[in-house]
Chain A
Amino acid sequence: MSPDQGPHSKDKRAPLPDSLRRQLEAFRGRLWFIKVAEALLAGLFGLLFSYLVVFGLDRIWNTPPTVRLVILLGGTSLFTLFAPYWIHRWVFRHRREAQLARLIARKFPRLGDRMLGVVELQDQRESKEALSPELRAAAMKAVAKQAEGRNLKAALPAPRHIRWALMVLTTAAIIAAALWKVPKPSQNAFERWLRPFSDVQRYTFTKISDFKETIIVPMDEPFSVTVSLSELSDQRPTSGVARFGIQEPVSAQLQDDKKSYTFDFPGQSEPGRVLISIGDARPVVEVIPQTRPAIKSVRATIVYPEYLQLQDKTKELRVGTLSGDVVVGSQVSLEATTLEGRELKTGMLTIKELPKTTERDLFDSDLETLGDSEEIGEATDNSDSNAPLAADPLLDGEKEDQPAPPRILPLRVAGSQMISPRISLQSQPLELQMNWEDVNGLEDAGGHRIRVEPLEDQKPIAYIQDIERQTVILEEETVSFEIIAEDDYGSKQIGYEWTGEFTKPTDETPSRGSHVLELGAPNQRRLSGVVHFSPKTRNIPAQKLQVRAFVEDYFPGRGRVYSEPITLHILTKDEQAQLLKDQFDRVIGELEDAARREQNNFDENRRIEQDGAEKLQEEANKERLEQQEMNEAENIEKMSELSERMEELLGEALKNGEVEAETMQKMAETMQKMQELSKEDMPKVEQQLQEAQDPSSTPEQSEKDLQEAIEEQEKVLEKMRETIEGANEANQDFEASTFVNRLRRAASEEDGIANTLIASIDDKGNTTIAGTPYDELDPVDQRVLGELSMQQRRTASDVHWIHEDLGHFYARTEKEEHKQIMVEMRESNIDSHLEAVREKIVTNRTFMALSSAKKWADQLKAWADILDPPEDPSGAGGGGGGEGQEPSLDDNDFEFMLKVMAMIQTEQDIRARTRALEQLRRTLHLQDLSE
């Protein structure tokens, strides 16, 4: 610091002349006033103008909040940014004399510079500067004097405060006018301007009621948008315009209600916005096209009637029909799920009764009238009288002509599922239609229909298989057959029943009974079991049995349903022997026919041979030979069939057990010869005949072949004759043993007649028949007497034929015992006596009839014993071989084989009956046996 610069140097500062100072202070005051005014007015204008902008924009469109915010910020920015800046610039930075002098220098450069020089002279230091204070003061005075003559206001920068003030006044006037003229929109604009993000809705003169800003419409389907005017609307334009995206705008007139406008748009597949313009209202609706809600799956839950005892069943309905699984009396409920999990709002179920479809035969005579609705109606009436719906039963045909009106039930909705209540099913088919609406208000496209066709619980069926419809068995035999039953839902049990019928009058009661074979289950549709039926096990004597299988299902009160019956002819051994005899007769007859045909073939072959070797090659003879070969083949086939029948016959005779061993042996020989003929001898003839036709053979060779065929055929004929002879011998033996059976059967018949008459007498010797004139008899007794009379007539006839047959038989065999019986029968005059017995029965002379019948039964048995003496328990083996002739070794073998075969047969019977007994034991709990 220089020495002349001290703390008091400032005091030595030369002050500005007063006039100049006052001038500068005035200039500064003015400057400050103008610029502050400018800043404040500009800020005020900004606020007012921004309000006006919002007001104006709101009249055109719904100014978005962000735009309003920007406007508001813009408006206030004049106040918050411009005003401070302006004040800083003009007030803060123009507060010193030097700053003011520089500002003045912009307008008056010389004066300004001088004033700036004067201001700088104030700060000159005496010690430093060489100038004198007087000189400095004189300079200041000179400048002050120069400045006095000047108007410094001219040096102020262009003042704009008045302009700003005018603009403020103008905008304020506009706002005031708006507030006065349209106060509601003005106030609304003020609120929206002041609070851009508030939910204050834009005021429009045309006011639209609340509407959905987003709507979902069916995809690709025309749709409409309706908007309504609010009650508060100041304007009600007669039309409006709307536009979907950039598509052509559509217009709508104010509708008759003076309230709404409906804009119709074509189908859309993409989302978009609909801009609506009604008056100054500009509502916007977001449109989202969506597919209509569809069903993905429908499940039916079937609740079966209680009696069926079945579990509820759930079934996916892939087609629109529910049948086969539903039975009348069931209940069904439906559960549907929408596609893509579309949530549902509501669902409805319409239940409509359908007319029954009557199954008609193509050949039905009424087919022509099929188009006649009345007749169809009648057919429907007759087909079923059940109520179609539990809730609305139809009781008669007239009502059925007029189907009940459809019922509509609400569906329970849960998310994307809808569930129907349970619907009771009767015999009437139903159509169930489901309709729904999703949460977006889209409805289904036509709904979903399900046809429900309840079926009647059908009767089960039962049948018997693995057995002939007519089967002949011996009492000791066991037959096996299978019972099969089927039901549409479940079989409760199967079994069989039998009903006997005697083919001749007897005092015994025909057999009758039933047996439960297997128990079923509610869901067991098919039930089967094998029956081993043994008449002897069940103490069923020889008679005709009708056997039927039965099945029961769970339908209440239906009872047993039966199969077609089979008939079991249970025969005694003598009856079976007679049957075998008849069959044997037929076999022999056919064997004789075969022999005759063979003889004819032989004769023809010889004729061809007589024509000579040369003619053998001629076409006509070739044809004859070919025919001969075919004839031979036919005869071979016949012989083969006969030998099979003979084999079966032999097996049956073995089962009978009462056919003589010698007879069996002859039958076996016959069978063997038949087999040899069919398999060896006759095919040789056929072969030779074929070779005789060989075109490559020479005439001589052909002739030789034919000769060999004739030679073979001659042997065949001889063997056939032997076979027939052997068969006849066997038949004679059979017949002989059958005489025994026939006589014993006749005796049995007479015994039967006597026993029936005895049965009519009670323990005290009283009878309802004896001593009463025929006309006064009870009808039951009359019938019994009639049947006995018939039986006696048949027996008499049989005995007559036995007598006659014995005569023929003796003529052929000349066996003494047959002659003896024949003579005794003739001498006893049995024919007329048996006729007398019949007359006694007819005239109700009971005691005489039964004593005579008994007598003749004994006599017939006695004659049978002549032919077949009862076995002597002490003298075994002394009968047949009594002539001392040792049987040959082969005969012994045959006897052994017969015995062994009989043993096997007996053991088989025992085993079959054991099995039948076991079956009875295992099913003991199933039935109440009644025979």
Chain B
Amino acid sequence: MKNNILLLAVGALLFLTVPALSQKAQDPPDTKLAIELPEIIYPDPVTESQKKAAGKHREGSQNLAGEQDELAADVQDLIEEQTDEKLISLLEEVEEVMAEVIDSLDETDTGGPTIAAETEIIEKIFEAAKQRSQQSGGT
């Protein structure tokens, strides 16, 4: 019964994650690939209201950096609770990518590479969940 619940949880996880992963195709691809991505030219704020909007963007980005930092702390807590090395390694990778996202958001970089990194985080967490599921299934 408990195993069923575990499977159910993984199912629910899939329910949540599949739409997220399916969005991956819409996200800009990794800049490391040999595909030339269009260069985005961001307009400079000129009018007062545009400057206000730019400020809103900066503030929002930095707030998100804070939230990402909190989530990174949660991941850190989760790592400490784990014993499986592979799982720990996966979660550490998640933490590293999160650190990268925090830096980007802190520098108000909300572009494609940042969104791609966030997608990678989702994928890696999902990978960790599968790893845990397999680990439990084996016992």
Question: Can you list 29 A-B pairs, Cβ within 8 angstroms, ordered by A?
Answer: A669-B5, A889-B136, A889-B139, A893-B2, A893-B132, A893-B136, A894-B6, A896-B81, A897-B132, A900-B13, A903-B74, A904-B17, A907-B71, A908-B20, A911-B20, A913-B64, A914-B110, A914-B118, A915-B110, A917-B61, A918-B111, A920-B57, A921-B57, A925-B46, A928-B49, A928-B50, A929-B53, A929-B56, A930-B49
Cβ B115 vs Cβ A918 within 8 A: yes
A900 touches B46 (CB 8 A): no
Report the Cα distance A921→B53, complex, angstroms: 8
Interface centre among A898, A899, A914, A922 (most CB of B within 10 A): A914
- Bound: A97/B115 CA distance, A: 147
* A927 interface residue per 8 A CB criterion: yes
A924 near B13 with CB under 8 A, answer no
Q: CB within 8 Å of A: which of B78-100?
A: 78, 81
Report the minimum CB–CB distance from A874 to chain B (whole Å).
Answer: 15
Knowing A893-B6, A901-B16, A907-B125, the reply to whether A918 touches B110 (Cβ < 8 A) is yes
Q: At the interface, yes or no: A888 with Cβ under 8 Å from chain B? A: yes
The 5 closest A-B pairs by CB, nearest first: A890-B2, A925-B43, A928-B49, A897-B9, A911-B118
* A650 part of interface (Cβ distance < 8 Å): yes
Complex-state Cα separation, A907 to B10, whole angstroms: 18
> Dominant SS at the A interface?
helix
- Whether A894 and B74, one on each chain, are in contact in the complex, defined by CB atoms closer than 8 angstroms, is no
Q: Does A296 sit within 8 A of B, measured CB to CB? A: no
C-alpha gap A650/B115 in the complex (Å): 27
Given A900-B128, A901-B16, A905-B16, 12 new contacts (CB under 8 A) = A647-B12, A672-B4, A890-B2, A897-B9, A899-B74, A904-B17, A906-B71, A911-B115, A920-B57, A922-B40, A922-B43, A924-B43
Task: Classify the interface of chain B: helix, strand, loop or mixed.
Answer: helix
Whole-angstrom CA separation of A714 from B15 in the bound complex: 32
Are A651 and B122 in contact, CB atoms less than 8 angstroms apart? no
Which residue of chain A has the shortest Cβ distance to B20 in the bound complex? A908
| Residues of the A chain whose Cβ atoms lie less than 8 Å from the Cβ of B118 | 907, 910-911, 914
The count of chain A contact residues (Cβ–Cβ below 8 Å) is 47
Q: Which among A536, A651, A668, A896 is the interface contact of B8 at CB below 8 angstroms?
A: A668
Residues of B within 8 A of A898 (CB): 9
Complex Cα spacing A907 to B118, Å: 7
| A616 part of interface (Cβ distance < 8 Å) | no
Does A537 touch B at the CB level, under 8 Å?
A: yes
Q: Which of A696-725 contact B (CB under 8 A)?
A: none
Interface residues of A in 621-658 (CB under 8 A from B): 647, 650-651, 654
Q: Mark interface residues in A64-92 (1 if CB within 8 Å of B CB, else 0).
A: 00000000000000000000000000000
CB distance from A515 to the nearest CB of B (A): 9
Pairwise interchain contact B64-A927, C-beta atoms closer than 8 A: no
Contact status B12-A901, CB under 8 Å:
yes
Q: Is the CB of B71 within 8 A of A903?
A: yes
Chain A residue at minimum C-beta to C-beta distance from B46: A925
Docked pose: A837 CA to B115 CA in angstroms: 50
Point out the residue from B16, B68, B114 that lies within 8 Å of A654, measured CB to CB.
Answer: B16
Select the residue from B12, B43, B49, B50 with max chain A CB neighbours within 10 A.
B12
Is B67 in contact with A922, judged by CB distance below 8 angstroms? no
- Tell me the residues in window 40-54 of chain B with beta carbons closer than 8 Å to chain A beta carbons: 40, 42-43, 45-47, 49-50, 52-54
Q: Decide yes or no: A647 and B115 within 8 Å by CB, A671-B8, A889-B139, A894-B6 being known contacts.
A: no
B29 at the interface (CB under 8 A from A): no
Given known pairs A899-B74, A907-B71, A910-B68, the reply for A894 and B46 (CB within 8 Å) is: no
Q: Across the interface, do A903 and B52 meet the contact criterion of CB distance under 8 Å?
A: no
Would you call A538 an interface residue if the criterion is a C-beta within 8 Å of the partner chain's C-beta atoms? Answer: yes
Chain A residues with Cβ below 8 Å from B68 are 910
Please measure, in the bound complex, the distance between the C-alpha atom of A915 and the C-alpha atom of B4, giving whole angstroms: 37
A665 beta carbon closer than 8 Å to chain B:
yes
What are the residues of chain B within 8 A of A922 when measuring CB–CB?
Answer: 40, 42-43
